[in-house]
Amino acid sequence: MSNILGRCPFEFEREEVAVRLEGDSAIDNTDDKVALQWLKGAVLPDDAPIVLICPGLANTKDSLPGTSLYGPLQSGPWRVVVYEKRGVGTGRGKLESPVFHLFGHPSDLDAAVRHVHKRFPKAPIHLVSFSAGNGLVGSYVRMFCGESGSTSGVRSCIMLMGGEDYNRALKLRQASWMDGMVESRLLSFTKNYFLKANEAILKEHNSEAYAAALSATSLHDLYLVTMRHFSGYSDLVEAERRINGFLGGNDWWTENQIPSLCIHTSDDPVGWQLHPEWLEVACQSPQVAIARFRFGSHCACYEGYNLSRWSDRLVVEWLQAAAYLEYKRAR
């Protein structure tokens, strides 16, 4: 079962990677660190495939959401590492510059992936993402993987429950009181982790913007304030271009060469926007597949009396399929 009591039963080794932003409107001080949390387990060869996991909005290695995926991955042939973006996880409340993004900076993830690839140059890398992590992974694949991801070692990605233009994704469904409660909880959770935990450095940078962010009454309002004032870019247009890989849609999928599987559920109150034009592009994209399940809510996906997750099983099956594809390519 997942860490119902809030404790993760698995052990990790933390590694830090220095990051900074580039760009015409990047502010002077953007230097910081992101974390790579390596799941401890059996000793593996240097060419063992690597599963790099990108958690949800303010989630960490302890709450991807949930930690049930670690078990089946740990018993398999994979080396597992969790990416924690600026301001969350062990680094929560330790921003070194007044820069963060709710979904994460693709350039920061690129620095982390390149670090992993340099450490294990013979190992294929497979990206697994949850919720808000899908926007980060999708943006990274679009901006940094080139034609095949060969320079970074990335061979596949699976995105669970979400992935959209951030300006669309953060306009949550408001069909019932339950939807309103979900957004209220997410809004409070996000403010606590990103804003209140880093109050001193953010207020010193821009106290008015900090106050406006705390006063935001919706996730989209919070996104707009933080993009304008804490993304690390003074120009909002450049910030969107460098961070929001799904800006304007998913047309780039037709040129994508990284095998990708996107998972959605029909009863998801968060990642609920699966538009016809989005599906049409997917149908024209030879390396992208979308699977839509009737039930699963947002990253819950429980099945059976022991509350196991069918999404864990799906991730393992995807990784096994990706390994077979690697084998076929190598022949």
Sign of torsion over alpha carbons 221, 227, 230, 234: negative
CA distance 301 to 111: 32
Half-sphere exposure of 7 (CA within 13 A, CB side): 2
pLDDT tens digits along 125-153: 999 999 889 999 999 999 998 755 566 89
Tell me the mean pLDDT in the region 301-315. Answer: 85
Q: Is 208 exposed, middle or buried (0-12, 13-18, 19+ CB in 10 A)?
A: exposed
Q: What is the pLDDT of residue 3?
A: 43
Q: Which domains does the chain have, with CATH numbers?
A: 12-166+248-330 (3.40.50.1820)
| pLDDT above 70 (res 273) | no
Contact in structure between 306 and 1 (CB atoms under 8 Å) = yes
Q: What number of other Cβ atoms are within 10 A of residue 282's Cβ?
A: 17
Contact in structure between 313 and 70 (CB atoms under 8 Å) = no
Q: What is the pLDDT of residue 317?
A: 95
Q: Which residues contact 88 (CB under 8 A, 6 or more apart)?
A: 58, 59, 60, 193, 194
What pLDDT band is residue 255 in, cutting at 50, 70 and 90?
Answer: very high
Question: Which is higher by pLDDT, 43 or 164?
Answer: 43
pTM of the predicted protein model: 0.92
What DSSP assignment string belongs to 125-155?
A: EEEEEETHHHHHHHHHHHHH-TTTSTTTTEE
Strands 308-309 and 302-303: antiparallel
Q: What is the pLDDT of residue 318?
A: 94
